[in-house]
Amino acid sequence: MNIHFIGIGGVSMSALAKYLHSQKFNVTGSDKVQTNITNELNNIGIKVFIGHSPSNLQNAEVVIFNSAITNDNIELKIAKERGICLIDRATLINYISKPFNTKIGVCGCHGKTTVTSIIAHILKAQNLKFMAHIGGFDNDFGNFIYTGKDIFLSEICEFNKNIDKFTPHIGVCLNIDNDHMNCYNDFNDLVKTYYNYLDRADLRIINIEDKFLSGYKNSAVTYGIDKGDFHIQNLRKENESQIFDVIGYGKKMFELSTFFKGEYSILNILSAISTAQNLGILSECILEGINSFTGVKRRNELIGTLNGAKVICDYCHHPTEISAFLNEYRADCKNVYIVFQPHTYSRTKILFKKFSSIFDCFENLYFFKTYAARENFDYLGSSLRLSLNYKNSLYFDQITALIDHLKSKVDSKSKILVLGAGDLYDGFKNYLNNNI
């Protein structure tokens, strides 16, 4: 069967394309620009066309598209005219999962990629047959690993209510926050959608310390820092590590030392442990898997130096995520230079009040033009408007001008934090790689 992906260069779409290619389907795809992802796909035998054109469809029998593809996309229009079978990304995830014996879906506004990656490492340590569809790039697995059809593990996104299209055997929910609100009637509608997802699962695993998940009434396995079926005790810090005892169902499972910082990292680890233990995975394999996880790209990732200053990138793009990440840097705020690129006008507009206070204690603040993704310009959700809200900030829309300015300010005592889910990460990486 010939399957064509419109927008194949996306993290999720490319992972799904890799799986179908591994199952001997003839896979092609198209995207606007050539990237490392499209190059990788070409290298493994998936033909990727740069630019959208009717000729790209060739002998396509099925066309896959995602929420970023608008109705005026020429390939989507031609596929409809020709009567080619059209499947959206979220529906494809559900189709792909059907042959697997156990389906695990990880949902929540924050932490999905990290938790999915940790679980994948644990499954690998136990030598289980599984597929992991990761919404980011694990340092070892990338965005996809496949060893067999026993367990299907995937991030499940709430954008556009895509979460409604997946029914897991094990439903993991990390947290609920007011993101993607342009896709919901109100916050109650968002909470209800998450609850419905959990209701469909055979086994539910939830963060009991999340104020909205704590109201979930059906039976669930719970985890938290201080309470839940899985929690921690004896938390202490030594050197750069957090060390604590993991308690599962009232008994100490093991002591864990991790270099990942913050309570949110502990919660992510506990979520993965809760899932693994309920799969019957041995404690020693759980510990081995966690210890083998070194992180995912764009999560507190050191990508180089500028004038001796460390350049650290993080994907955080929601106020809750940003605040949690910045907690580790507030004590040294005078030496920290923050560059933030908002992700979509709608999110920035809806959460403008929260975005307008999270950087208050930092003196060196820069805003880069909004990453529009699928949206049209809206000043009310623009980076420029956000910049004007902070008297000590500067706004840039050209990366060379931004970096030239930073070079005149930073030294070896400084840290540059590049925050956001847009293309600024690639811009900094390209600059640093070409100016070593």
What tokens does 247 get? Answer: 């308690």
Give pLDDT tens digits for 128-186.
999 999 999 999 999 999 999 999 999 998 888 899 999 999 999 999 987 766 778 89
Alpha-carbon span 251 to 56, nearest angstrom: 58
DSSP 327-376: TTTGGGGGGEEEEE--B-HHHHHHTHHHHTTTTTT-SEEEEE--B-TT--
> What residue type is assigned to position 321 of the chain?
E
Alpha-carbon span 345 to 373, nearest angstrom: 9
Alpha-carbon span 229 to 36, nearest angstrom: 42
Give pLDDT tens digits for 189-241.
999 999 999 999 999 999 999 999 999 999 999 999 999 999 999 999 988 89
Alpha-carbon span 48 to 29, nearest angstrom: 5
Alpha-carbon span 292 to 290, nearest angstrom: 5
Non-local CB neighbours of 192 within 8 Å, separated by 6+ positions: none
25, with CB counted inside 10 A (0-12, 13-18, 19+), is middle
Portion of the chain with pLDDT greater than 90, in percent: 82
**Residues 371, 404 contacting (CB under 8 angstroms):** no
Give pLDDT tens digits for 281-325.
999 999 999 999 999 988 889 999 999 999 999 989 989 889 988
Minimal CA–CA distance to 126: which of 296, 254, 280, 256?
280
Mean pLDDT across the stretch 74-93? 96
Residues pairing with 154 in the sheet: 105, 133
CB atoms within 10 A of CB 348: 21
Q: How many CA atoms lie within 13 A of 41 on its CB side?
A: 34
- The strand ranges marked E within 249-331 are 251-258, 301-306, 309-314
Bigger pLDDT: 87 vs 426:
87
Cite the DSSP H helix spans in 166-208.
187-200
Alpha-carbon span 297 to 137, nearest angstrom: 5
**Residues 48, 8 contacting (CB under 8 angstroms):** yes
Distance separating the N- and C-terminal Cα atoms of the chain: 46
Minimal CA–CA distance to 153: which of 211, 205, 220, 86?
205
Give residue 418's pLDDT band: very low, low, confident or very high (50, 70, 90).
very high
Q: Is 230 helix (H, G, I), strand (E, B) or coil?
A: strand
What tokens does 401 get? Answer: 């001008």
Give residue 70's pLDDT band: very low, low, confident or very high (50, 70, 90).
confident
**What is the reported pLDDT for 169?**
98
Mean pLDDT across the stretch 333-361? 92
In the chain, the domains with their CATH numbers are: 2-88 (3.40.50.720), 99-292 (3.40.1190.10), 301-434 (3.90.190.20)
